Chain A
Amino acid sequence: MSTDTAMNTDSKSKTIVLHGRKVVGGSAEGEALVTGDRISGWGGIDPRTGTIIETRHELRGQSFAGKVLVFPGAKGSSGWSSQFHIARLAGSAPAAMLFNEMTTKIALGAVVVHAPALTGFDIDPLDVIETGDWVKVDAERGIVEVIKKQRG
């Protein structure tokens, strides 16, 4: 199914369904926080609050705590997992993570966050999910349901 078709279906129903591969199991829902920028762990986030701190990042100053974080993937230091690990223990981890690019940083990070995570989607989540949309993630079944926020 192409992205265009998906978008057309949605404009009527206001929901979009994506299918992906389970990285970490479980289910969760929450408001989406979406970025086209990759995220650094160590030196890129403040794990105590879940806030992005990287100087030129488009989400600088925003927190992913409790959000469904939608992003291309991880970059930067190999301290990625330990920073997200601390975020989990500090209660500031994302509720779920949806990403496109598989790396060891993000795989390990997702594993230690213990929150549902998916990758390898049939539709690019960055094309169809916007910050503020409500997102339900069922990682066991590999299904993401996006309820579009009323805009306008």
Chain B
Amino acid sequence: MRLNDEEQAMLDGRDGPAVQRAMDLLVRYGTALGAERLVDTNNVCGTVGATMPFLRDYATKHGGLDAVFSEFNLDSPDVVAVPKAKVFSSHLQQGLDPEHAERQNVGSDIVKLYRAGEAYTAKLGIQPLNTCAPYQVGNVPVKGEHCAWMESSAVIYINAVLGARTNAEGRESAGAAMLTGKIPYWGLHLEENRGGTHLIELDIDVKSVADWGLLGYYVGEIVQDRIPVINGLRHVPNLPKLKHFGAAAASSGGVEMYHVVGQTPEAPTLDAAMRGRKPVETIRYGEAERRLAYERVNTTAKHTEVDFVMLGCPHYSIEQIWEACQLLEGQRVSPDTELWIFTPRATKQLADQAGYTKIIEDAGGVLMTDTCSSVGRVMPKGTRVAAVDSAKQAHYLPAIMGVEAWFGTTADCIQAAVTGRWSGAFA
């Protein structure tokens, strides 16, 4: 890989051992990819937290959070002193909500470690957005902006919906990018790799958030890591719908980029979306495909007694909290069921102010921040059956937590929270 003088100086140790390790990792990573060079970035989203058990133990054994950063963010077995982030960097979701630790069955020792991590993040100058959806709380990259983001649901959102340019980075490459402002110039950073590969022709109307989730789940499984182009849209979607589509497609497959003809910024026309090329495959999406996606998403669900309703994957926007409150207001969550809704901390502040937090709490639910059930492995004790309105969460929660998961609309989920029973159905 070709390095410029600045990059070579970093690799030679001019800016200290941590930056040297970061550049060394970027060179190994770029070489593995077959990248020719690096590109400058001033927008990095990653994670440096150490609340999960393996990392907690590692921090204890190897000398704290610099040791965790060295190993897990720089792939350096030697512990190096970590300087402030060189470029604008944001923290993604964390492993728990410190305000609801007890309800999440998280011990006070772990909360202490979380607080230490919070202080460490601040010391490094990393923004504590603590969400999987930074684009909902002020980090909104523009078209053409080179970014280095982790979090598959955020990566696909900023590529497809905003026209920013990022690959799905990992914890180590994002850490290295924070300290250097560099990332391999490869994949979706290059214009020629952003064109569509698969054409998805819609034979049915795709309306609700759940519909978009099902479409994403179906398409992701087929195209895997390629670029689908959705054609035949009848209604303009909104942020939650595109967010759920992308999150689902990045879970059943590895989709990092898509186009919606006439909607997303790099797809004014079908031809533009395909960059003039012919699709490698054309897939029709009709009622049968939608049903198949519904059955696949619900593959683990059997028992209709619901112990736990989890909303907010990806983290709810203020619009989704407002919508959930409209469905919930004046009702009571069943004594056999818990309702947890996850949102970024900044959005919760807005919800507090707007009275939504109170509506949720008066109904017996809880508005939580910073984490989610899959990432934090946090659920009410004894949960066997969960209900979610996210295809992504329905995909991961059973694998990670060994529970059954029902997938349906937000209204199906609120209904399950109130009655304690799943009554959602393919409709």
- Interfacial residues, chain A to chain B (CB-CB below 8 A): 21, 23-24, 38, 43-44, 47-48, 53-56, 72-82, 85-86, 89-90, 101-105, 107-112, 117
Contact = CB atoms under 8 A, between A and B. Distances in A.
A99 to B, nearest CB: 11
A82 B398 contact: no
A47 to B, nearest CB: 7
A56 B299 contact: yes
Interface of B: 25, 28-29, 32-34, 54, 58, 71-72, 75, 149-152, 155, 167-173, 184, 186-187, 224-225, 250-251, 253-254, 296, 299-300, 374, 395-396, 398-400
A108 B169 CA distance: 8
Nearest to A84: B170
16 contacts: A43-B395, A43-B400, A55-B395, A75-B224, A75-B253, A76-B250, A77-B251, A78-B152, A79-B171, A86-B54, A89-B54, A89-B71, A102-B34, A103-B187, A108-B169, A111-B32
B294 to A, nearest CB: 15
A119 to B, nearest CB: 9
Nearest to A108: B170
Contacts of B170: 78-82, 104-105, 108-109, 112
Contacts of B187: 103-104
A112 B54 contact: no
A72 to B, nearest CB: 8
Contacts of B250: 76-77
Contacts of A72: 224
B299 A75 contact: no
Given A55-B399, A105-B254, A108-B169, 16 more contacts: A38-B225, A43-B396, A43-B400, A74-B225, A76-B254, A77-B151, A85-B71, A89-B58, A90-B54, A102-B34, A104-B33, A104-B170, A105-B168, A108-B170, A111-B75, A111-B172
Contact of B168 (A38, A48, A89, A103): A103
Nearest to A38: B224
A80 B167 CA distance: 13
Given A111-B32, A112-B75, A78 B169 contact: yes
A54 B172 contact: no
Contacts of B54: 47-48, 86, 89-90
Given A55-B299, A104-B168, A104-B170, A110 B254 contact: no
A104 B152 contact: no
Contact of B399 (A23, A54, A81): A54
Contacts of A75: 224-225, 253-254
B400 A53 contact: yes
Nearest to B25: A111
B169 A104 contact: yes
Contacts of A104: 33, 167-170, 173, 184, 186-187
A44 B299 CA distance: 16
Contacts of B398: 55
Contacts of A55: 299-300, 395, 398-399
Contacts of B58: 89
Contacts of B254: 38, 73-76, 103, 105
Contacts of A109: 170
The listed residue with most A CB atoms (<10 A of its CB), out of B149, B155, B224, is B224
Nearest to B400: A43
The listed residue with most B CB atoms (<10 A of its CB), out of A38, A78, A112, is A78
A76 B173 contact: no
B399 A53 contact: yes
B399 A78 contact: no
B315 to A, nearest CB: 15
B172 A81 contact: yes
Contacts of B171: 79, 81-82, 85
Given A44-B399, A53-B400, A82-B171, A107 B152 contact: no
A87 B152 CA distance: 21
A117 B152 CA distance: 24
A26 to B, nearest CB: 12
Contacts of A80: 168, 170
A78 B150 contact: yes
A48 B53 CA distance: 11
A75 B253 CA distance: 6
A43 B373 CA distance: 12
B34 A21 contact: yes
A53 B28 CA distance: 29
Contacts of A110: 32
Contacts of B32: 23-24, 107-108, 110-111, 117
Contacts of B395: 43, 55
A85 B224 contact: no
A48 B152 CA distance: 23
A11 to B, nearest CB: 32
Contacts of B25: 111
Contact of A101 (B150, B155, B225): B225
